[in-house]
Structure 1
């Protein structure tokens, strides 16, 4: 299939909210009372374009018990668990209270519900809120079940696709909230770039070695290596610092690399990125798949599922280095090689520079100058 067919098939169009606050805009919205938080924020919780949220009460579910019960009860439980605004249940769950530094163990391939430590209130007529994991958590191959957060929603639904248990800690930073103004009369800092000529102009600023574009979309290709998670490591402790060779097996991509089903990897993406303080990039995953002979077109649902799992998330203004994606195959194995297209990107352009760009000392940025590394915290 051609890349154009991927985009048409997946219905990407321009899928992102058109507007986005940066850190100064978030602070102004807090001061004006348009966004309300019930707790005092830490100095580094407001990042260049997001608000970091911390871990509160956690329910780690016994997914095998859930599966068996769902089969017996005709999937009643499974449907209930998919309802994000329901009252959470402790059935089949190990419950961890909202307690600072409390160790929380996420078994391999487990489902977890994390209630944010902060209660955040906003008027849905003012803002639409999307979510993503912090980079260090995404690099552990944790995945949010949804990329939006609605008013009144009580928890973030998380899957651990890592073959090893992961230890998180109570009230540590975990996910990011993005605030997208819904109304024209609200202060707004940035917009998604959907104009082809503007995207080309910005690309010349950001990519010193050049980048391919398809309309306004940036094409990110597999770089020099993949990092494949080792198995049977025991607990991966997020309070510890690890070298890449402690957690991963490095695979050079000059030769084809087989990526099996449910095999977690971190992929270095090319080209090299150097963002000024008024431009961010949203990465959209489009993990490649092969068209089978005799099929008129691929299964749309499966294409969408496979595509979501290469999502690398958000690249902050001020970031410099290689970005990463996390291709993860639910059902179909794939062979990858250097130069394969793994993800698309779209620019967000701000009218003013962010207050604190990525790499500012107070933000404790872990990945400035990254060569495509694994988790650092």
Structure 2
């Protein structure tokens, strides 16, 4: 069946050797609709970001673009504003009929840690064509905070697709009628639109802005860092917020959303012409996200960066959309059910490293 491959089919590909790794893939890397990818033992500091290009290998391009090589064993700091390339432990031999797409994990995006998948013969980031056979690399650019990384850390994840999986607007409306994907009226236009919440039901805290010149974040340390050392709280009772050029913000959607068990979703930007800002689309939304005992959904955390000019963001302004995809089969496990899921039932929430 066409659609996004569930955990059972990912395991089958691993057993067949289509997804291989050294050391072998761990059970906890397999998510309901994706596979976490692990950093290898070496990082290369680059002069600039790059794509290999048709007919070229990443390894051949490194000679002209790398500045120095770093050993990640024991931990190494990736500095803010620099670009690094890290070979991943996993490699792919995609069978006919399968393509793949990668994206940063949720915590990676909330740290403003730009992480993209690059490959041999690659002409775009995060996309792997049918029959790709080769190694995988993560390009990492810390934009707000310097981070400490080690081999085996998982910053991005891979989703595999068979055929056409994306729902068109008519199919999405039908799914919403059956499953109530969003709390409140659904704006469906090339996906399920969501807006920003700048009038919280309680209090006046609407988001956070990354503080410049903060310390290093060890990505393995969960709940270890006081949020106030890295973030400024944003409070307003006016329902609007002025975004500063170059600043990075954590905000939250007004809507609560849900991903039914036979579907997955991906956050995408809305329209470039709606303002001088961009909502970073870090994560996949796994089957079961936002579905709990009450079925009330979970709000989407928005990773926002303002561009050239200050911009006034208004409460209820549409800033992004969720693109829903069919699963090829129902996963064995759902997000938040029997697996550690840091953001199930979330509201406005920073990355898991902060307290």
TM-score range, shorter chain: 0.7 to 0.9
CA distance in structure 2 between the aligned counterparts of 1:216 and 1:328, rounded to whole angstroms: 22
Which of 149, 154, 175 is equivalent to 1:173?
A: 154
Cα deviation, residue 348, structure 1: 1.6
Give the aligned partner of residue 132 of structure 1: 103
Deviations 1:212-254 (A, max 9, x none): 3234521110124222112222112212224544432222464
Which of 293, 312, 316 is equivalent to 2:286?
A: 316
CA distance in structure 2 between the aligned counterparts of 1:208 and 1:214, rounded to whole angstroms: 11
Cα deviation, residue 90, structure 1: 8.4
Give the aligned CA root-mean-square deviation in angstroms: 2.8
Give the aligned partner of residue 142 of structure 2: 160
8 A contact 1:98–1:117 mirrored in 2: no
Aligned positions, number = 318
Which of 230, 239, 248 is equivalent to 2:211?
A: 230
1:137-148 matches, cutoff 5 A: 137-145=108-116, 146-148=125-127
8 A contact 1:310–1:343 mirrored in 2: no
8 A contact 1:98–1:171 mirrored in 2: no
CA distance in structure 1 between the aligned counterparts of 2:288 and 2:308, rounded to whole angstroms: 37
CA distance in structure 2 between the aligned counterparts of 1:352 and 1:278, rounded to whole angstroms: 7
Aligned-partner SS, 2:280: coil
Aligned-partner SS, 1:272: strand
Cα deviation, residue 284, structure 1: 0.7
8 A contact 2:3–2:327 mirrored in 1: no
Deviations 1:318-373 (A, max 9, x none): 11221122122343432212211110112123354211111134x32111111121
TM-score with structure 2 setting the length: 0.79
Higher strand share goes to which structure? 2
8 A contact 1:21–1:180 mirrored in 2: yes
Which of 213, 218, 221 is equivalent to 2:192?
A: 218
CA gap 1:148/1:104 in 2 versus in 1, 3 angstroms: farther
For structure 2, list consecutive stretches of 5 or more residues without a partner in the other structure: 117-124, 199-205, 291-297
Give the aligned partner of residue 83 of structure 1: 52
Give the aligned partner of residue 104 of structure 1: 76
CA gap 1:21/1:351 in 2 versus in 1, 3 angstroms: closer
Moved over 6 A (4+): none
8 A contact 1:203–1:210 mirrored in 2: no
1:285-300 matches, cutoff 5 A: 285-286=269-270, 289=273
CA distance in structure 2 between the aligned counterparts of 1:326 and 1:333, rounded to whole angstroms: 17
CA gap 1:36/1:60 in 2 versus in 1, 3 angstroms: closer
CA gap 1:352/1:82 in 2 versus in 1, 3 angstroms: closer
TM-score with structure 1 setting the length: 0.75
Give the aligned partner of residue 201 of structure 1: 174
Cα deviation, residue 375, structure 1: 0.5
| More divergent stretch after superposition (266-275 vs 85-94) | 85-94
CA distance in structure 2 between the aligned counterparts of 1:60 and 1:140, rounded to whole angstroms: 21
